[in-house]
Amino acid sequence: MNAIEAIVWNLEEVRRRSLLVWESIPDTYLDWKPDSDAMSVKDMIRHVLDSEHYYHLALLNEGSLAKYESPYEKRAFTTLKEEISFSEPYRKAFMDTVKSYAQADLSTIQIDRSDVGYIRTLGDMLLRIAYHEAIHSGQLLDYLRTAGLKRPKVWD
């Protein structure tokens, strides 16, 4: 397995585990949040999906976007199934882009996000994207614990 294949596998594995968490949440808890300053469950799921789309565009741009029009912003969250279905073309485009990179690109392409404090190699950025989603999956597991709900087994 080369580095690109490992990154693709990691992104797919993080998403598989995110889906285990997301799909375990009862619909009646989609608006739940642990406190008034926190994101709701559905807001966090949408944040993950929308962020991945933003990151994909930033990869193509090799840096932060001067302007970003979210395809999610004007769309009401209805059900988890519909949200995931809506995100599928964006996910496919992102994964196709990741799969299109050559091994050398991981260290030679620079992603300039100096507007938020960093410039990183493509390889670093791809790992950050997966980490971002994984962190939010962990937060949702904590939400489930706090709400007294059963947590799915993500360490299979």
Residue-wise pLDDT tens digits, 33-52: 999 999 999 999 999 999 99
Residue 130 CA to residue 13 CA, distance in Å, equals 9
Banded pLDDT at 98 (limits 50, 70, 90): very high
Mean pLDDT taken over the chain? 97
Residue 142 CA to residue 41 CA, distance in Å, equals 11
Banded pLDDT at 152 (limits 50, 70, 90): very high
Predicted pLDDT at 45: 98
Question: Is the per-residue pLDDT at 156 higher than 90?
Answer: no
Q: Average of pLDDT values for 45-72?
A: 98
Return the structure tokens found at 131: 């980490």
Return the structure tokens found at 46: 């949408």
Rounded to two decimals, what is the model's pTM?
Answer: 0.96
Spatial CB neighbours of 3, under 8 Å, sequence gap ≥ 6: 103, 106, 123
Handedness of CA 19, 124, 72, 95 (dihedral sign): negative
